[in-house]
Structure 1
Amino acid sequence: MKRNSLIYMAVASSILTSTVVSATEFRSSTVRALGMGGSNIASTNGVDATYWNPAAYGFFGESDDSAETKSVDNSRLSEKSWGMDLSVDAGGKAFGPLDKNTTILKSLINPSTIPTGQLTTNVGQTVADVAAFSKGIASLDPSPMGVGAFADVGSGIRIGSYGINVRGTLDVGGTVVLDNQNARLDVLTAVVGGNITVGAAGTLAIAPNGFFTAAQRTNMLNQLTSPAGGLTADAAASVIIGYEAALTANNGGISAAAAEGNLISAATAPGDITKNNTAWALRGALVKELGVTYGHAINDRLSIGGVLKYMQAELFDYKTDILGTTGNTATSNNGATETSTGFGLDLGVMYRMPSYQFGLTVRNINAPSFTYSATGYTYKMDPQAKVGAAWMPSRDFTLELGYDVTKNKGVIETDESQYVNLGLEWDAWHVLALRAGAYQNLAQSDIGLVATAGLGLNLWAVRLDIAGAISSNKVTFEGKDVPAYAMASLALSSDF
């Protein structure tokens, strides 16, 4: 098997950097939204409305100074004629039994290294190793698991109801692709047969030192020669005798009952261990967008908006065989990338009334997709809908609730998200904005509750904002507990 450290290096590299159909999640990818727990659909009030709700653009720089307009202009959008911003964010997450499975995998002996037909010595130990490998593969936890890394860089300018922005989004995901089906002892018919001399065909007359009871030997023989086991009587007897000899010499603390279970489980699993395709998969996308935004206020209370995006996606899909076996489904592209282009369309609606605002945004309504032809991996940006409701009793205070109407997938198919978000902002004296919030992934419980906080400092001509998020749940990585989810964001903006 490859060196144990390679498995952990692969996991670590995905955190530092991250035929499947995938889509991006609706994450808290701008600084004000992150500080407010990812809730910004109803109360977005800057250039980043391009991402959260383009309908806000219809209310920017309103010329109507009527009492009706003032009564519903909860975010002072009529006072903002133009603006610009630059923002960056990055984060990572981990979920599922990744550490448990890599611990199992790094302890296994690779059956592909067994020299077929050359077992003239220490056959018993080889049999024991093969049984332990098969048992380990069969015990891998198939629950959804993976690690992810993500980052966004965006810049935009807004003039009245129009905006132009550029944005780059990197999504990387890594996971162990399990093959706990190909775990049977078919290999032993070749490597054991003829190397151990037994008595009469199918008998177990030779029983070294009695590690197993007679009943246990009979049970193993029956299982190994059953249709599920698939071995001949002679081969099965050879396996049991060699296994017993190895365990008698050095059983490593294993009981006879546990050893019996290992051998039977390994032998009756479907598939052949020499065809095992357990692999580490790393795939992702770098999506660059050029977007044009427009919003139109139907009246003082209702506005609609949209974003037309030209998109260029650079995809990679890398898979490497962890166990170094000879399976025929493992794929590797040596880390090469492929670039394709497309268009995306986002739509938004915003409704205002005194002290309250409501919003709906549907991103990628036309479902743009990009395919990496070398492996067939498709990065499909399915439509994503999110709603928000905000209470704004004054122009200095906002409390907003957000909810993902759609369930979204990450760059690996086991990574799913559907967030419910809650956040607040107090813009103290229009100098210092204090923000706090939380969000929960309803599609996966591994991450737990994510707490967020942020602040914005108004420096007259520019505004500096920072925010961070960290999950309540921990995951184990190389024996250490680390947060299952973490994210940080920074932005510099101007609004006039």
Structure 2
Amino acid sequence: MKKLGAWLVVGWVACVQVSVAERYSFVGHRAQGIGGAGVATANDSSAQWHNPAAFGFFNREADEVPGLQTNVVSNLVVEVEQSAVTNEVPTNVVETVMVTNEVPSEVVETGTNGVTVTNAVMETQVAELSVTNAAADYQVVMLNITNSYYTYTNEVVDITVVPDRARVDNMKLEENDWGWNMLGVGVGYTMTEDMPEYVTALAEIDFDNFDGGGLDGAMAELPGQVETLLQLSSVLYGLGSDPDNSFYVDATAGMNFRFGNFGVGIRGFAEAAGFIDYLDTQRFGVEQSLAEFNTALDDAALEDGFSAVGYTYTSINPGDLAASGIAGAQEAYVDFKLTQLKNDGYLTDDLVDDAVEMVNLIKFGEDPNNVNSDSFENNQSTVTARGFGLMEVPFSYGHAFNDNLSIGITAKAMYGTVTGTKIRFANGDAFEDSLDNMEDNTEASFNVGLDLGVLYRMKMLQFGAVAHNINAPKFDGFSDQIQLTDEDGNPVGAPIDITVPDYTIDPQVTLGAAFVPSKRFMVEISYDLLETGTLMDNYDIQRLSFGAELDLWMLAVRLGAYNNLAADWQDWIATGGLGINLWAMRFDVGGAYSIGANAEYEGTEIPEEARLYAAISMEF
């Protein structure tokens, strides 16, 4: 078993899955901070992704209708001429005249200013004042006359119409003339299914404590070698038998520019996945004989001070290792070591079961130099690695029908590259060579994508919906042959046929609702109606997201959370972000951190999912 340690480590690496999906990646610093929401509150260039309907309200005057404007009467002139005063009060003396400026019941282009006279005697002597372009509100003018006779001349010199811009637009989108998201970059990862358990187990393995030839160390080293063998066995079998246990990484980068109701940008996505598509359970042979292996177990038990007399099994049942030939006192000692690893937090019950399965597959006394033997040197287990890279150039336009309703469209020119390979991971050199050759096994194709969005606004509520990739753009796969080589360039084994299927970006429909009492504060919730796939067959994406933003002029604070409803094993992910606004320049950062079951590596907690997004932009 000369290379068993290296084999198990490579087996772990082989089942790591690295993936970046267009639908998986967050776009924009605001979305990262508020849990991925943004359908109802997109207010910058990222509206190209979240909802292009927002472009319809950018840099837009309000509708000029009577209910949405204020008329200001300026330069009101009152000329007062005093007449001769007699000793007798004239019958036409007006003690008090008050102009109340009441709003007429119906606003017309030419109307009256609703003069009310408090002295009924003079009611017929006060002429109605004509005001052109009369509207909802007038200034109040009060004139008091005592014991004098006056002649009044009221002249309206000018009337200025001032639109009250978009009363329903609490986010002040009409102020957005243009903006430039100069650079936005995001990275993240997810440990799927039970991967946190395997990461924790791997962190506790002392790889220097195990000789790949078998349990053939010095007496004092044997107990540690047994522990390492059991830990490695549990990790390898668990990851190899269930490719859903994976490490999933995503990233995106791009820039956008918007001007009025239009937007244009460029953004890159990429995706790669590796999974064990064939686990060869026949060729797990080691050089050490079963008798030598059992003798080493006895020596390890003696070194540990373990006695099988009267021992009660705790982690496995007697006979569980019968397929491997390990029984009696040796099997009891294996149970003893598994129980120690469980009590120390290194293995879970599931990992113990995986260790048992793996040990039962080991065949003893196999010659690694015999091509017909069941030595691990001849193991045919393979890893399939697939990748997808996407570069897209989106063009967006939004049209507002009124202050409440807008629609938008984003058309995307998309250039996709599909790549893939197969890897036999029994030989480390061949494994490395296959990864290097993955770049040569590609197929590029061009397609277009289409997104549609709608946004409806009320005074403090906003509702949005967006359909992404409604045409399900597809990119060509390919078939090929791969020849593995060793470090000297010599062929290793026969050529391997590979087939990488076409890659289709699934459509998605997302709904959003937001409470927006002011430009400085908003709360939003969004929901994906559909499950969208990734390169992993059993890992889909369907998010429920919510978040809030408080903009304190120079500082913006964002909080939120999201959950992937398509993955019942995944917990909620908390998000947060900060933005610094220096007049037109903005610097933003956001992150996410899982709040559920996490892994532990060398005393440090590793979240099940984490991500980071940073951006620099200009907004006018």
TM-score under structure 2 length normalisation: 0.57
Q: Which moved more, 1:364-373 or 1:46-55?
A: 364-373
Alignment-mate amino acid for residue 169 of structure 2: D
Distance, in Å, in 1 between the alignment partners of 2:435 and 2:587 is 44
Distance 2:464 2:260 in 1: 20
For residue 165 of structure 1, the aligned residue among 265, 271, 287 is 265
Matches of 2:401 and 2:455, distance apart in 1: 10
- The corresponding residue for 2:413 is 310
Distance, in Å, in 2 between the alignment partners of 1:410 and 1:47 is: 26
Provide the residue aligned with 1:371 in structure 2: 476
Per the TM alignment, residue 461 of structure 1 is displaced from its structure 2 partner at its CA by 2.1
2:403 alignment partner, SS class:
coil
User: Which of 10, 14, 17 is 1:6 aligned to?
Assistant: 10
1:458 and 2:615 matched: no
Q: Deviations over 1:318-368 (max 9, x none)?
A: 33233469xxxxx98931352222111111111111111111111111111
Q: State the match for 1:73 in structure 2.
A: 169
Alignment of 1:467 onto 2:590: yes
Matched residue SS, 1:335: helix
2:531 equivalent to 1:407: yes
| Superposition deviation, residue 74 in structure 1 | 2.1
Matching residue of 1:198: none
> Contact 2:14–2:276 at 8 Å: present in 1 too?
no
Q: Counterparts of 1:262 and 1:92 in 2: how far apart (Å)?
A: 29
1:139-158 to 2 correspondences below 5 Å: 142=242, 144-158=244-258
Q: How many residues align?
A: 406
**Are the structure 2 counterparts of residues 317 and 475 from structure 1 closer, same or farther at C-alpha, using a change threshold of 3 Å?**
farther
Q: Which amino acid aligns with 2:402?
A: N
Q: How does 1:123-134 map to 2 (within 5 A)?
A: none
Aligned position for 1:380: 504
Aligned to 2:156: none
* Matches of 2:253 and 2:550, distance apart in 1: 26
1:67-111 superposed Cα distances (whole Å, 9 cap, x missing partner): 37522112111111211113111111111234767979x99999x
Aligned to 1:53: 51
In structure 2, give the amino acid aligned to 1:155: M
Distance 1:25 1:143 in 2: 21
SS at match of 1:489: strand
Which has more radius of gyration? 2
Match of 1:207 in 2: none
User: How many percent of aligned residue pairs carry the same amino acid?
Assistant: 31
2:199 counterpart of 1:94: no
Conserved? CA contact 1:146–1:173, under 8 Å? no
Instruction: Give the corresponding residue for 1:334.
Output: 437
CA contact (8 A) 1:156 1:165 kept: yes
Bigger relative contact order (CA 8 A; separation at least 6): 1
CA gap 1:321/1:32 in 2 versus in 1, 3 angstroms: same
Structure 1 unaligned regions, length at least 5: 111-128, 188-238, 326-330
8 Å CA contact 1:138–1:183 kept in 2: the answer is no
Which runs of 5 or more residues in structure 2 are unaligned? 69-163, 213-228, 286-321, 336-352, 363-373, 429-433, 481-498
List aligned pairs for 1:133-282, cutoff 5 A.
142=242, 144-174=244-274, 176-177=275-276, 179=278, 183=281, 253=333, 278-282=381-385
Match of 1:418 among 523, 542, 563: 542
Give yes or no for contact 1:183–1:273 (8 Å, CA) kept in 2.
no
- What secondary structure is seen at the aligned counterpart in 2 of 1:70? coil
Query: How many angstroms apart in 1 are the aligned matches of 2:239 and 2:185?
Result: 42
Tell me the residue number matched to 1:439. 562
Secondary structure (helix, strand or coil) at the match of 2:438 reads coil
Q: 1:10 Cα shift? A: 4.7
Q: Write the deviation string for residues 218-253 of structure 1: whole angstroms up to 9, x where unpaired.
A: xxxxxxxxxxxxxxxxxxxxx99xx75x75796573
What is the rounded CA distance, in whole Å, between the counterparts of 1:150 and 1:57 in structure 2? 28
Provide the TM-score with structure 1 as the length reference: 0.70
1:217 corresponding residue in structure 2: none
Instruction: Specify the SS of the correspondent of 2:27.
Output: coil
Task: Give the letter for the 1:253 counterpart.
Answer: Y
Q: Measure the CA separation in 1 of the matches of 2:501 and 2:460.
A: 47
> What's the counterpart of residue 457 of structure 2?
352
- Amino acid corresponding to residue 584 of structure 2 in structure 1: A
> For residue 191 of structure 1, what is the aligned residue in structure 2?
none
Q: Structure 1: which amino acid aligns with 2:57?
A: F
User: Is the 1:76–1:395 contact (alpha carbons within 8 Å) kept by the matching residues of 2?
Assistant: yes
- The aligned amino acid for 2:47 is A
